Amino acid sequence: MSQVDEVLHQHRERAQTRDLRLEGLTKEFASFTAVKALDLVVPTGTFFALLGPSGCGKTTTLRMVAGLETPTSGRILLGDDDVTYTKPYKRPVNTVFQNYALFPHLDIAENVAFGLKRRGIKDVKGAVAEMLELTELSTQATKTPGQLSGGQQQRVALARALINRPEVLLLDEPLGALDLKLRRSMQVELKRIQSEVGLTFVHVTHDQEEAMTMADVVAVMNGGVIEQMGSPTELYDNPRTTFVANFLGQSNLVAGEIIGVDGDVVKADMHGTTVSVPRERAHATSGKGWIGVRPEKVLIARTGERIDAPGNHMTGAVVTDASFIGVSTQYRVRMAWGQEITAFEQNTGLREVLAPGTPVDVSWRPEFAFLLDASQDVTAGLGEV
């Protein structure tokens, strides 16, 4: 086995069983607390996304894991090793920086070889060539970073970090500077590379679509704390806070009085209509609540027409706005109690677009609704990036 292979092999062996754990991690700056007592476990080999608006503490968390920021308190563990105060160059962790931070005075191959050489590995040619192959940069090896496009630079940054086979790869908004189309293809690429190399990826982003597309587990961060953590479907279908409901996709949140638990469901009175919410999606069981439903789950039909949903029909609603976007139509509907809600309807071709002013009935299947504690700000997470 060559020297490189040996080192990489050792790393992979160790990486098998080593989770990244953050325990009570806190970072206070002079005027504010960026991260508040964060507890988090990232299992080995997962693609983990830290999602949140700017200033939520996600980048600070990442920098603490990289060793570029010293925590005020708390611990960072890799397996059983406490790396909280370990120097960045002694951690088996590498970072893909937001602006890539490629070394402008070195060519692409030298950039990629940098980490291996610093660890005293002399023969790096094979490993570099292999990594350039993986990131489709073989023809660019002798160019300097300034001669590459944004997407190519991004891949160099990735190759430069990946070649070290870190136990944890940190990605700080790595696709933020790319245009939409390139971003989409890089998302797929990143996901492919991650499953190929099987390393733990911690990806920081404010783009909820990006987080959901790529990550196995998403942690939604807000104001220095994790609001909710889970798989993308879990977070989307069963948000626990208004922030998650609004930041991750869109939600209709309607005020209601909770009646109480009834078997598998929690019943609530919503402006005179009794609606039921599955027990496991109800995050409040008494008092006032927000009844939430995603726009694509809201069904509408002309008054009197049949709606394919077993729930209650709410009558007396009027379409106020309809925008046809091809694949679907987005409706704004004013309910009988005056609130406007949003409904997305697939363009299945069964019906023409309903014009504004059309009286409609509204319904949704009860199992798609969720119930949140009304003490929270209903607008939390709206319009934040």
Partner 1 sequence: MTPLQRVGRWIGDHLVLALGVLVIVYLVVPIAIVALMSFNDSSGSRNVYKFQEFTVSNWANPCKPEGLCDAVSTSIQIGLLATIVATTLGTLAAFALARHRFRGRSGANMLIFLPMASPEIVMGSSLLALFVAAGFGGQLGFWTIFIAHVMFCLSFVIITVKARLSGLDDNLEQAAMDLYATEAQTFWRVTFPLVFPGILAAALLSFSLSFDDFIISNLNAGQTVTFPMFVWGAAQRGVPMQVNVIGTAMFVIALALVLAGGWNQRRRATAKAA
Applying CB under 8 A, the residues found at the interface with partner 1 are 66-68, 87-90, 93-95, 97, 99, 101-105, 107, 114-115, 118-119, 142-144, 160-161, 164
**CA 79 to chain CA centroid, nearest Å:** 24
CB of 157 vs partner 1, minimal distance in Å: 8
Closer to partner 1 at the Cβ: 46 or 95? 95
Closer to partner 1 at the Cβ: 67 or 256? 67
CB of 73 vs partner 1, minimal distance in Å: 23
Name residues whose C-beta falls within 8 Å of residue 267's C-beta, 6 or more positions apart in sequence: 258, 259, 260, 261, 274, 275, 276, 277
Name residues whose C-beta falls within 8 Å of residue 261's C-beta, 6 or more positions apart in sequence: 267, 279, 285
CB of 187 vs partner 1, minimal distance in Å: 23
Closer to partner 1 at the Cβ: 63 or 294? 63
HSE-CB at 74 with a 13 A cutoff on CA atoms is 22
**CA 337 to chain CA centroid, nearest Å:** 34
| Helices and strands of the chain, counted as H and E runs | 9, 20
Closer to partner 1 at the Cβ: 15 or 317? 15
SS3 76: strand
Residue by residue, DSSP assigns 206-260 as S-HHHHHHH-SEEEEEETTEEEEEE-HHHHHHS-SSHHHHHHSS--EEEEEEEEE
Closer to partner 1 at the Cβ: 152 or 250? 152
Closer to partner 1 at the Cβ: 2 or 142? 142
Closer to partner 1 at the Cβ: 32 or 103? 103
CB of 156 vs partner 1, minimal distance in Å: 12
Phi then psi dihedrals of residue 214, to 5 deg: -100, -35
- Measure Cα distances from 304 to 174, 268, 308, 332 in Å: 51, 25, 12, 19
Q: What Rg do the C-alpha atoms of the chain give, in angstroms? A: 25
CB of 223 vs partner 1, minimal distance in Å: 26
Closer to partner 1 at the Cβ: 119 or 288? 119
Closer to partner 1 at the Cβ: 118 or 351? 118
CB of 101 vs partner 1, minimal distance in Å: 4
CB of 207 vs partner 1, minimal distance in Å: 21
CB of 57 vs partner 1, minimal distance in Å: 18
Angle, alpha carbons 67-73-75 (nearest 5°): 60
CA dihedral of 158, 147, 111, 48, whole degrees rounded to 10: -10
DSSP bridge partners of 219:
50, 229
CB of 138 vs partner 1, minimal distance in Å: 16
d(CA 19, CA 44): 5
Name residues whose C-beta falls within 8 Å of residue 242's C-beta, 6 or more positions apart in sequence: 251, 253, 290, 372, 376, 377, 378, 379, 380, 381
